[in-house]
């Protein structure tokens, strides 16, 4: 009977459902028992039906591959602490949902999934640049992109016109305009906190206006 691995689960499911980081590449040999359990740690989705669908698809894969797939979900604000604990213990879930800089923070503990990336890229027409930037480290692809949540910004141009301002085109202009609009009583609101939405919003706005906190070398 063919053994089922974490890598095979990613390969089969990534195109439709999963695109998580492969966790803890510790050299643990795959089990060849009659049944093997794969474990996946994800967030409690804000749409509960999404968690139900994920478990349904995990069960479907398990039946095809003759293995058990256990999907564990916790609040997204608890994920960083859970990831750190599993990294420290050198044990934990086989697969996990990855956010932001996780592929880089845990680079040495994650398996290279470049072969899966190549296969999916050829099948579905390649990858957007941001997918590569967020999942490929100096030592290889450490995550399989799953989804991207966009945060489109809206402007009330009436406030800008009232202040005699044009639409900002750079980060410096946005900061400049923001100070003027605040004095006018119409402050620019950009959430800054530790939660996922604030990070997604702030960094998207910063980068889209050409701002940055590091050079491309990741050090300067």
Residue 204 vs residues 159, 210, 212: alpha-carbon distances, Å:
22, 10, 11
pLDDT at 33 over 60: no
Query: Tens of pLDDT along 77-131?
Result: 899 999 999 999 989 999 999 888 899 999 999 999 999 999 999 999 999 998 9
Give the residue extent of every domain in the chain.
6-141, 157-208
- Would you tell me how many other CB atoms lie within 10 Å of the CB of residue 219? 6
Strand partners, 174: none
Question: Exposed, middle or buried, 189 (CB in 10 Å: 0-12/13-18/19+)?
Answer: exposed
- Report the topology of domain 6-141: D-Maltodextrin-Binding Protein; domain 2 (3.40.190)
Task: Write the DSSP string, 77-101.
Answer: GGHHHHHHHHHHHT---SEE---TT
- Sign (positive/negative) of CA torsion 212, 217, 219, 220? negative
Q: What is the pTM of this model?
A: 0.71
Query: Tens of pLDDT along 41-88?
Result: 999 998 999 999 999 999 999 999 889 999 999 998 899 999 999 999
Share of residues in the chain with pLDDT > 70 (%): 84
Cα–Cα distance, 160 to 186 (Å, whole number): 9
């Amino acid at each position: 009977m063919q053994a089922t691995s974490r890598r095979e689960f990613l390969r089969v499911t990534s195109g439709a459902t999963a695109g998580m980081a492969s966790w803890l590449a510790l050299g643990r040999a795959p089990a060849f028992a009659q049944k093997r359990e794969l474990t996946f740690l994800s967030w409690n989705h804000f749409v509960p039906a999404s968690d139900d669908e994920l478990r349904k698809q995990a069960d479907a894969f398990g039946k095809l591959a003759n293995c058990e797939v256990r999907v564990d979900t916790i609040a997204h604000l608890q994920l960083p602490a859970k990831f750190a604990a599993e990294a420290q213990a050198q044990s934990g879930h086989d697969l996990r949902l990855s956010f932001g800089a996780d592929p880089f923070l845990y680079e040495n503990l994650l398996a290279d999934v470049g072969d899966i990336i190549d296969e999916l890229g050829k099948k579905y027409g390649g990858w957007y640049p941001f997918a590569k930037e967020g999942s490929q480290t100096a030592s290889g692809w450490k995550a399989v992109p799953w989804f991207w949540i966009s945060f489109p910004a809206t402007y009330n141009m009436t406030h800008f016109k009232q202040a005699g301002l044009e639409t900002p085109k750079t980060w410096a202009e946005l900061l400049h305009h923001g100070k003027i609009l605040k004095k006018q009583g119409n402050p620019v609101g950009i959430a800054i906190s530790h939660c996922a939405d604030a990070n997604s919003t702030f960094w998207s706005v910063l980068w889209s206006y050409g701002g940055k906190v590091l050079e491309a070398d990741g050090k300067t």
